[in-house]
Amino acid sequence: MGRDSNDRASGLDAQLVRRIRRNQWTGAIVNLAPSAFWLGVFFLAPLAVMFFFSFGERGAFGEVLLAVENLGLQQYRRFFIPEDTSILVALWATVAWLIETAVPGIETLSATQPTPYVRLLFKSIGYGVLATVVSFAVGYPMAYYIGHIAPERYQNLLIVLVILPFWASFLVRIYAIQLLLSANSVLMSALAVLPFVEQGASLMYSQFAVLLGLVYIWIPFMILPVYSSIEEIDFTLQEAAMDLGADRFEAFYHVIFPQSKPGVMAGSVLVFIPSAGAYVIPELLGGTDSQMIGNFIASQFGSAGNWPLGAAGAFVLMGVMLLSIAAYQRGGGELG
């Protein structure tokens, strides 16, 4: 009897194991459980805490006040709306400031200035856009050369050269730019022969240095997606267009470039997002007029000790990133 009971139990166990293996949801749960746990504990939970903090207030000694009477949208209001003004006045002040910034010499359109946080946010977006445009202008020809013009036996070598900087530390690469742009460096000494460059001049701690750092660090993320798109293009279509009367530029613009557009859009998102939210690059290469929203957020969690305002700024920046991803997907891109 004991042996029969053990046999029946073993049979039931084996049958249960077979049912579990046949259930597709069981395999998915087992495979996803470790990554879901890691993502939940180390990403979603801290994100939820920071989101909760963004509705609180800073106490007299830097503590975060989260009592019911302290919760509200005051940090977001402080971020977007100047004191003693309405939402409409703040919106017009922001629009007027953007117009005045884009058109030098124009008359002052609004007596109210947007908050310094809003100005810093748009300044960071501007850096991101400029870095994206420059990365495209430099990276697209490189990707086109690697994917179409370069001999096939050299393509892998060129791709390795593109990703080679990633083998060095992020900080090491930033320090290398510091050495190049500092006074009396090899680069600046060579540029001193130009009439408009003074001897001993330095480009450090300037907006140019920040832009150069952003482009240098993130341009591989423009080159690689564009190269991937160009590699899949059938260039006989370009030849067909030229046979039908199009010149080389028209054939490229109307046939080749549209097919590489998915890579351009993906590269633009991959460059814009880290550039707009950069912290280390403006901290090490920029001056007081080159700080970005990432530096503001870090200061709120650090020296300023205002975690609720820093959390609100982080989620505003996150909203900008999500909007850029939404625009990318609306344009036909696919992430992942």
Q: What is the CATH number of domain 115-333?
A: 1.10.3720.10
CA 171 to chain centre: 18
How far apart CA 124 and CA 278 sit, in angstroms, is: 8
Token pair, residue 240, equals 């067909």
How many residues appear in the chain? Answer: 336
What is the SS3 string spanning 188-216? HHHHCCCCCCCCCCCCCCCHHHHHHHHHH
- The CA distances from residue 68 to 52, 56, 74, 77, in Å, are 12, 9, 13, 18
Annotate 119-139 with DSSP letters as a single string: HHHHHHHHHHHHHHHHHHHHH
Token pair, residue 328, equals 């990318």
Burial class of residue 77, CB neighbours in 10 A (0-12, 13-18, 19+): middle
Token pair, residue 57, equals 């207030």
**For residue 64, what is the enclosing H or E element?**
strand 64-65
pTM of the predicted structure, to 2 decimals: 0.86
DSSP-derived secondary structure letter, 232 = T
Domain boundaries along the sequence of the chain = 3-77, 115-333
Annotate 253-308 with DSSP letters as a single string: IIIIHHHHHHHHHHHHHHHHHHHHT--HHHHHH--GGG--HHHHHHHHHTTS--HH
Q: Over its length of 336 residues, how does the chain's per-residue pLDDT go in tens digits?
A: 455 555 555 655 566 556 656 666 666 676 778 888 899 999 999 999 999 999 999 988 889 999 899 999 999 999 999 988 889 999 999 999 998 888 877 878 888 889 999 999 999 999 999 999 999 999 999 999 999 899 988 999 999 999 998 898 889 999 999 988 888 888 887 777 777 777 777 888 889 999 999 999 999 999 999 999 999 888 888 889 888 888 888 989 998 999 999 999 999 999 999 999 999 999 999 888 888 999 999 999 988 889 999 999 999 999 999 998 888 888 765 544
